[in-house]
Amino acid sequence: MKIIELKTPYLIFLANETRDGFVKTGHGIVEWRRTLCEGQLRLEGGTIDLGLPSMTIKDAVETNIGSLIIGTASIGGGIPDAWIDTLEDALLKGIDIVAGVHNHLKDVPRLREAAARSGARLVDIRIPPENIPVGNGRKRTGRRLLTVGTDCVVGKKYTALALEKDMKGRGMNVDFRASGQTGIMIAGKGIPIDAVVSDFVSGAAELLSPDNDADHWDIIEGQGGIIHPGYAAVSMGLLVGSQPDAFVVCHKANRMYIDGWDNFVLPTIQEVIERTVQIGKLTNAAIRCVGVSVNTSQLNPEEREKYLDDLSKEIELPCVDPLKDGTQEIIDHLNNEFNNK
């Protein structure tokens, strides 16, 4: 296994959760991959509804569920005792259990044993595959677009998924490539790039977007920030290994400082474009920025329009809020740049 691959379809496990903010993973999967989701499973007391059919483990077996996805974050990190009976039952019936942040499946002996007995897997989405090679820098076939950011939590995953959706809508040959936990659950495969040992980050990025058809676009989920005191190494390896033809800069309007590093002024969009081009040229001499994706949730409608207009004039590229406007302007520009070449 060179990249993590999840069995589909999914049953989303919501436990006894009542707080919507703790079910971001579940919501994200349903938003972007409704067709992969066959059902949801709540325990007693649970009130969250993703709009999926309710299912027992017995139903799940009949529906040929591949993976039970833990769609909620438990407090404290462990697997609550109240979950164990259900998860063990799923494993014994051959259904993989998939979990991310804070859920340590392998620390629970009953789950370990049930998995060993049936052959079902405990998939910890934070753990990268073994034997990732060092990046070789070889030019791969097909096209690649990477979302990069002025910071973390500025919409790199959202933008990549929105681009994939809008490009699919135009009949383009395109795939979202996941480099983070929620992204991997949505895509059904990927590599948690930030958990890869630094010697192998660009190699992992190469595995993430392998050779493909000449007209095919990989839309690669970015991580970190290329100008960031904590996460620049991750972004560097992902950029060099992805060898993107194109990139979109993601930004949050009105953010002034790097989130969590308040003595670091946020780099400008132009600085991120220049640095990304400089570094990206190593593995793709023709790398270019094709647009900017801005989270404008802090702006009112008039501010938003002016902000995006001013930015488009300054950067001379399409600038959109994908949540409000979609990504069509960026795709128009992308097609102009690449279709005739």
Residue closer to a copy of itself, measured from CB, 70 or 234: 234
Contact in structure between 14 and 83 (CB atoms under 8 Å): no
Q: How far is the CB of 133 from a copy of itself (least distance, A)?
A: 9
To 10 degrees, what angle do helices 109-118 and 81-92 make?
10
Is 231 a residue that touches a copy of itself (CB under 8 A)? yes
Question: Rule CB under 8 A: which of 85-144 touch a copy of itself?
Answer: 134-138
What residue has token string 């990268």? 128
The structure tokens listed for 63 are: 């529906």
Strand-by-strand arrangement of the 319-320 sheet: 174-177, 217-220, 143-149, 246-252, 288-295, 319-320
How many Å apart are CA 254 and CA 294, to the nearest integer?
10
Is 193 a residue that touches a copy of itself (CB under 8 A)? yes
Residue closer to a copy of itself, measured from CB, 71 or 203: 203
Question: Rule CB under 8 A: which of 252-281 touch a copy of itself?
Answer: 261, 263-264, 275, 278-279
Backbone angles phi, psi at 138, to 5 degrees: -65, 140
Listed residue (273, 323, 314) closest to 293, CA to CA: 323
Q: How far is the CB of 240 from a copy of itself (least distance, A)?
A: 5
Contact in structure between 273 and 248 (CB atoms under 8 Å): no
Residue closer to a copy of itself, measured from CB, 23 or 234: 234
Q: How far is the CB of 15 from a copy of itself (least distance, A)?
A: 28
Strand, coil or helix: 314: helix
Using CA atoms in the order 155, 156, 161, 163, what is the torsion angle rounded to 10 degrees? 100
Stretch that binds a copy of itself, among 93-101, 108-116, 188-196, 300-308 (CB under 8 A): 188-196
Q: Name which position in 26, 183, 222, 237 contacts a copy of itself (CB under 8 A).
A: 237
Residue closer to a copy of itself, measured from CB, 128 or 291: 128
Contact positions vs a copy of itself (CB under 8 A): 134-138, 193-199, 201-203, 227-234, 236-237, 240, 261, 263-264, 275, 278-279, 282-283
